[in-house]
């Protein structure tokens, strides 16, 4: 609908200093002429539009212009509440709870039942099973450090079980696959690192402060660092029929190749580390490494060690 496109254009203009008509035309799949007609309609509605001529020109709004809150519909507010409720399952925080209260307070009493229904149509729960009290304390502590630009110190346990004392400049908290991470500048390593919160202990907020460096969220390592091609090892796994549903959940139905004698084979690539060994062993006798031989032998030695321990 045209009204939806007009509102979307206004929001884009608010979020960016300027944008070219051609980019808007491509985004909304209309002609440049249609975009200019939309811009004219927006201007006539009283929204202060500015056009910048030249090669680096474009379309923008008067600096400081903001949308009125009344432009947010109940559906918009319900979507915001659903998102906040989803985040709150993993990290509540007083700010989130108060924002939920504020949003609910602006809904008229006559519409509250319908609004409540819209916010409970689906639930996204990021929290793990079990008690998360200690994790919430760490999150609250690190959030405070990020906001106040405070140095944080802690003891960190690596995947190999080595303990080191770290002093870091905290930048961003990241939730990835139900695990919380801290993206921070490590003063010990003199580079940005990603730390798993459950590997931290003796967390202390220091009195020293730091100057935050500009970072680009689009270039953050949690999107690619774990599985760069140089770190990946190709392997083939065979799964018993009784764990087919688990293999499908992990790798997708289309990735499983059925064997004539029963069972399923999947070909994939993962970094070879302790996580991979533990992942394969978590299937027990229902998973078998076919290739490469090095990982097959490694799993065999680990399994033999387990058997010996229980003899």
What CATH architecture is 133-223? Roll (2.30)
pLDDT at 287: 92
CATH number for domain 2-69, candidates 3.40.50.2020, 1.10.10.10, 1.10.10.60, 3.30.450.90: 1.10.10.10
pLDDT at 48: 84
> pLDDT tens across 30-65, in order?
888 888 888 888 888 778 888 888 777 788 888 776
What CATH architecture is 229-310? 2-Layer Sandwich (3.30)
Query: CB–CB of 166/188 below 8 Å?
Result: yes
> pLDDT tens across 268-281, in order?
888 888 888 999 99
d(CA 12, CA 34): 16
> pLDDT tens across 171-203, in order?
988 887 667 889 999 998 888 888 988 888 899
pLDDT at 302: 93
Check whether the bond before 84 is cis (ω within 30° of 0).
no
d(CA 36, CA 29): 14
**Closest residue by Cα to residue 143 from 224, 227, 189, 87:** 87
Output the pTM of the full model: 0.52
pLDDT at 304: 93
**Closest residue by Cα to residue 58 from 9, 124, 106:** 9
d(CA 198, CA 47): 49
Query: CB–CB of 226/203 below 8 Å?
Result: no
Number of helices followed by number of strands (H, E) in the chain: 10, 11
For the chain (length 311 residues), average pLDDT per consecutive 10? 72 79 86 87 82 81 66 72 66 62 71 78 64 75 90 86 89 80 89 87 90 75 58 88 87 85 88 86 92 93 92 84
């Amino acid at each position: 609908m045209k009204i939806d496109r007009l509102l979307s254009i206004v929001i884009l203009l608010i979020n960016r200093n300027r944008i070219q008509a051609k980019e808007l035309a491509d985004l909304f799949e209309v002609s440049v002429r249609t975009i200019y007609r939309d811009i004219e309609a927006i201007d006539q509605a009283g929204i202060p539009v500015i056009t910048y001529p030249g090669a680096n020109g474009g379309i923008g709004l008067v600096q400081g212009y903001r949308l009125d809150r009344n432009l947010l519909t109940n559906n918009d507010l319900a979507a915001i509440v659903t998102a906040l409720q989803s985040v709150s399952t993993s990290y509540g925080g007083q700010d989130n709870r108060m924002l939920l209260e504020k949003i609910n307070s602006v809904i008229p009493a006559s519409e509250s039942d319908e609004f409540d229904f819209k916010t409970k149509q689906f639930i996204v729960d990021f929290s793990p099973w079990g008690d998360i009290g200690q994790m919430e304390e760490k999150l609250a502590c690190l959030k405070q450090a990020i906001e106040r630009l405070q140095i944080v110190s802690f003891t960190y346990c690596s995947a190999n079980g080595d303990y080191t004392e770290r002093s870091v400049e905290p930048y961003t908290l990241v939730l990835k696959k139900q695990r919380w991470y801290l993206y921070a500048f490590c003063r010990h390593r003199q580079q940005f690192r990603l730390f798993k919160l459950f590997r931290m202990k003796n967390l202390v907020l220091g009195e020293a402060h730091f100057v935050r460096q500009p970072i680009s969220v689009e270039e953050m390592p949690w999107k690619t660092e774990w599985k760069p091609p140089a770190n990946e090892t190709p392997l083939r796994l065979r799964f018993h029929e009784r764990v087919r549903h688990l293999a499908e959940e992990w790798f997708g139905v289309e990735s499983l190749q059925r064997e004539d004698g029963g069972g399923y084979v999947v070909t994939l690539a993962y970094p070879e580390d302790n996580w991979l060994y533990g992942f394969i062993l978590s299937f027990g006798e229902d998973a078998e490494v076919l290739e490469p031989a090095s990982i097959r032998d490694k799993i065999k030695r680990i399994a033999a060690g387990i058997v010996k321990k229980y003899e």
